[in-house]
Amino acid sequence: MQQTISARDASQKLLAWYDRHHRDLPWRVSPPMAKAGVTADPYHVWLSEVMLQQTTVQAVKPYFHKFLSLWPRVSNLAAADTEEVMKAWAGLGYYARARNLKKCAEVVAREHGGIFPDSEDGLKALPGIGDYTAAAIAAIAFNRRSAVLDGNVERVISRLDRIETPLPAARTQMRARVGEMTPAGRPGDFAQGMMDLGATICTPKRPACALCPLNHGCLAFRAGDQEDFPKKPVKKARPLRVGAAFVASRADGAVYLRKRAEDGLLGGMTEVPGTAWTARKDGGITLDARPFEGDWEDCGTISHVFTHFELRLSVYRAEVCARNDSANGWWEPLASLEAQALPTVMKKAIARALPHAFSSAISPSVNEGTPE
DNA sequence: AAGACGTGGGC
DNA sequence: TGCCCAAGTCT
């Protein structure tokens, strides 16, 4: 059994590294001010943490600014139209986060007087806030000594202690270790420092161990097998589903849209009419789901990868002279298409049928299919 | 408690 | 090209 680094030693080295190498991020109060007692705005911390769930910093930045511009305070978000929130979130993915974000804002505004709870338990009771986010907000915005454990920290800890237990079973052990390392003085900086270390030095591939402030005490580094940690379960294959999408346009350029169910995949988002997405690709695509009678032209296919399946969508286009809406959809003018709550897969389908629909030309890079 | 739940970027 | 990955939560 090798010697592991002491919690206090690791904690001090990490904070010293963070003081010199921290990232400057829009939602963050950097060390000099943080050490002077300035804490970040809980609304900003919460908003950024929810956006950052399973999402990269680069992807989050523009959305963070857009949300703050649209809704400067949590009370404004609480009073907003949910549809507007979904439009603003479109493209970020994991849309349940947006639905829960809105619900959480309403609870904070209505039940907490617009002030976020300052305890881990109080925060965790809110929609969309789980173990990680509750601890992060408590530590960063309220200076609570909470053990923050996310993917970055898991990677750092698993290598530091060379933990052979695979995730997620190893989390109990990891949480305990982070708990003893978290300093009472600067819990927020420590949490952010661990995440910065994981994001910039202790990376999944080819970590820069030579630059790591904890390398001397890192058991995996000493053994030379740091890339083998953390141990993860084997992932399942991603099945293929197929379906059809129907892009109906009007003479004036308007496109026919409808709203998806509130729950489940892309819940509460906007779509073009289409078939269900089924597991098999034989049997042909039925055109029963087309919203209007008309001369439907085959535009080929698009592919889109979701977390648990891949979708191959046959896209059809028709110009229809429809004076009345069928079902529950509406005609959206071409000019305002971009601002709708359209998930990326739907923008791809529309761009396939109407190449000029979006100004910022989403390059249909995944459109291997040609009309047959 | 394992599966559902998006997207874009890196290699 | 295809696989892996990114500050998780909910059921």
pLDDT band at A326 (very low <50, low <70, confident <90, very high): low
Whether A372 is in a domain gets the answer no
Task: Characterise A257 by phi-psi region: left (phi > 0), alpha (psi -120 to 50), beta (else).
Answer: beta
Tens of pLDDT, residues A194-214: 999 999 999 999 999 999 999
Whether A367 is in a domain gets the answer no
Whether A362 is in a domain gets the answer no
Residues paired with A305 in a beta bridge? A310
Q: Which of A29-38, A66-75, A278-287 has the lowest mean pLDDT?
A: A278-287
Q: CA of A205 and C1' of C7: distance in angstroms?
A: 18
- Residue A83 main-chain phi, psi, to 5 deg: -60, -40
User: Computed over its alpha carbons, how large is the radius of gyration of chain A?
Assistant: 24
pLDDT band at A324 (very low <50, low <70, confident <90, very high): low
CATH code: domain of residue A30: 1.10.340.30
Same domain, A223 and A250: no
Q: CA of A167 and C1' of B9: distance in angstroms?
A: 25
Whether A307 is in a domain gets the answer yes
Q: CA of A326 and C1' of C5: distance in angstroms?
A: 42
What is each CA distance from A188 to A37, A182, A193, A257, A294, in whole angstroms? 11, 9, 8, 45, 60
Q: What is the pLDDT of residue A364?
A: 39
CATH code: domain of residue A268: 3.90.79.10
A262 in Cβ contact with A332 (< 8 Å): no
Residue A31, token pair as written in the block: 């060390």
Nucleotides of B under 7 A from a protein CB: 3-9, 11
pLDDT band at A119 (very low <50, low <70, confident <90, very high): very high
Of A199, A228, A257, which residue sits at a domain end? Answer: A228
pLDDT band at A19 (very low <50, low <70, confident <90, very high): very high
Q: What is the pLDDT of residue A170?
A: 96
Same domain, A220 and A283: no
Same domain, A210 and A292: no
Same domain, A322 and A181: no
Same domain, A137 and A160: yes
Q: What is the pLDDT of residue A232?
A: 93
Range of the structural domain that residue A52 is part of: 7-228
| A180 annotated active-site | no
Same domain, A94 and A191: yes
State which residues between 111 and 140 of chain A bring their CB within 7 Å of strand C.
127-134, 136
Does the pLDDT of residue A370 top 60, yes or no? Answer: no
Return the DSSP state at A216: G
Which amino acid residue lies closest to nucleotide B6, measuring CA to C1'? A93
Taking the C-alpha atoms of residue A331 and residue A348, their distance in angstroms, rounded to an integer, is 18
Q: What is the pLDDT of residue A280?
A: 72
Taking the C-alpha atoms of residue A188 and residue A33, their distance in angstroms, rounded to an integer, is 12
List all residues 6 or more positions away from A248 whose beta carbon is below 8 Å from its beta carbon.
A255, A256, A272, A273, A290, A291, A292, A294, A317, A318, A319, A320, A322
Same domain, A105 and A52: yes
Whether A360 is in a domain gets the answer no
Whether A370 is in a domain gets the answer no
Same domain, A219 and A322: no
Q: What is the pLDDT of residue A10?
A: 97
Tokens 């739907």 appear where? Answer: A346
Number of structural domains (chain A) is: 2
Which amino acid residue lies closest to nucleotide B9, measuring CA to C1'? A56
What does pLDDT average to over chain A? 93
Whether A318 is in a domain gets the answer yes
Asked if the Cβ of residue A306 lies within 7 A of any atom of strand B, the reply is yes
Q: CA of A349 and C1' of C8: distance in angstroms?
A: 29
Same domain, A264 and A201: no
Same domain, A123 and A153: yes
